[in-house]
Structure 1
Amino acid sequence: MNHTSIDFIIKKCRKLFLDKLKDYDLSWKLLKNSSIIDQILIKIIRIKNIQSKGYQEIKEEKITDTYMDVINYIVIILIKLDIFFVLNFDKISCHDVIFLYNKKFEKIKNCIHEYSPQKIFSINNVLKNILYLKKNEEEVPFKKLEKIYFKILIETIFLLKKFDTKIFIVLFFILY
C-alpha cells in the first residue's frame, strides 16, 4: 500500500474541508444526516455518470473534486455522530470540528492496512451502501452505522487513489 498517496488524498480533502469551513462555517450542523446522505448520493451518481460516459460536461468541477466532496460529507456525518453522543451540539466550535476531522482521518490511516490491495473497490459498492443507509439509517445501531460510514469512506479514498494516480503525481509537483 502506498501510504504517501493516501496521505496526499487526506491532505487535499482536509484543505478542501477547511476552505469550505471558512466559507460556510458550521452550517451543516443544521442538516439532518439524511440530507447529507442525499448530497452524497447526488455526488456518487455524478461519478457513475462521468465514468459510464467517459467524459464530463461540467469542466469546472473535476471528478476528483466530487470524490473529495463525498469523503468530506461522510466525515461530516461521522463528526455529527460524535457530536450527538459526546459534545453539546450547540456549543461546538470550528476548533472542535477540526480536531474531530483530524481524529477521523487518524483512525482511517490506522485501519487502512486491514483492506487488502486485491480487494475490488467499486463506485457501485459505495452506491449500494449509501442506498442502504438512505433506507435504513434510523434502524441501524450506532456502532454498525459508524462502521458502514467508515467502510464507505475508506472505499471512496481507495477509489479516488485508483482513479488516476497520475493526477496526484502532477498535483504533488505543482503544489510542492
Structure 2
Amino acid sequence: MKKTHDYGTAWRILRLQSITDQIFIKAQRVRTLEEKKISKVGEDITGEYIGIVNYCVIAMMQLECDSATALELAPDHVGRMFDEKVKETKELMFAKNHDYGEAWRDMRISSLTDLILMKLLRVKQIEDNQGLTLASEGIKANYQDILNYSVFALIKLGVK
C-alpha cells in the first residue's frame, strides 16, 4: 500500500506475462544467490521473496481486471482487492497444509525456490497456450502456490 501511495497503480499497465516474468526474475535471483552465496548489490533473498509475494497478489488482481478497468485505481479499492487475494490464498494454504501435514516445514528453502521456478514455467506455458489447459490448474492456482511457497520460505528465514 505504501508503494501504491508512491506510484499509484502503475502496475496496471503490465500485461500478465510481464508480471510473470518479473516474478521469474526475482525467483531466478534467489536461486543464483542460493548457489553463489554472495550478493554484489547487497540485497538478500528475503526482499526477493517479499517481492514475489507482492507480484503474485498483483498478478491475481490483474487477472480480475479487464480492458475496461481504469489504469489508475483508488488506493482503498486496491487495498480491498489486495486483502481479498491474500485471504483467498491464505485459506488455500491452510487447507493444503491440513492435507499435506505441513510437509513444507521439513523442506529446504532451495527446494521451495525450485518449486516456485517450476510453477512459473508452468504459468509461462499456460500463457503461451492463451490460458487453455487440458488437465491442469489454471494460472491463478499457480500464483497462489507460488505466493504460499514464498511465505513458507520467509517463515523458514525467520521473517515475522
Residues 1:144 and 2:138 are matched in the alignment = yes
Shift of 1:93: 2.1
- Identical residues among aligned pairs (%): 25
2:16·2:63 contact (CA, 8 Å) conserved in 1? Answer: no
Report the AA paired with residue 93 of structure 1.
Answer: A
Distance 1:97 1:82 in 2: 12
Name the structure with the higher helix share. 1
**Amino acid of the residue matched to residue 126 of structure 2?**
N
Aligned residues between the structures? 145
Q: Are 1:118 and 2:103 counterparts?
A: yes
- C-alpha displacement at 1:109, in angstroms? 2.5
Could you say which residue in structure 1 is the equivalent of 2:30?
A: 47
Q: Name segments (4+ residues, structure 1) moved above 3 Å.
A: none
The correspondence of residues 147-166 of structure 1 with structure 2, limited to 5 A, is 147-162=141-156, 164-165=157-158
Q: TM-score, normalised by structure 1?
A: 0.74
Q: Which runs of 5 or more residues in structure 1 are unaligned?
A: 1-17, 170-176
Does the C-alpha gap of structure 1 residues 140 and 160 become closer, same or farther in structure 2, counting only changes over 3 Å?
A: farther
Q: Secondary structure at the match of 1:122?
A: helix
The one-letter code of the counterpart of 2:86 is F
Distance in 2, matches of 1:117 and 1:106, equals 19
Q: Give, as a single letter, the amino acid of the residue that structure 1 aligns with 2:124.
A: K
Task: Give the superposition deviation at 1:63.
Answer: 1.5
What do residues 62-83 of structure 1 show as CA deviations (whole Å, max 9, x unaligned)? 3211111111001001011122
- 1:11-50 correspondence to structure 2 within 5 Å: 18-50=1-33
Alpha carbons of structure 1 residues 151 and 140: separation in structure 2 relative to 1, 3 Å: farther
Give the deviation of 1:139 after TM superposition: 2.6
Q: Aligned residue for 1:15?
A: none
TM-score by length of 2: 0.81
Residue matched to 1:73: 55
List alignment gaps of at least 5 residues for structure 2: none
**Do the aligned partners of residues 32 and 124 (structure 1) sit closer, same or farther apart at CA in structure 2, a change above 3 Å counting?**
same
Question: Could you tell me how far apart the structure 1 residues matched to 2:75 and 2:139 are?
Answer: 24
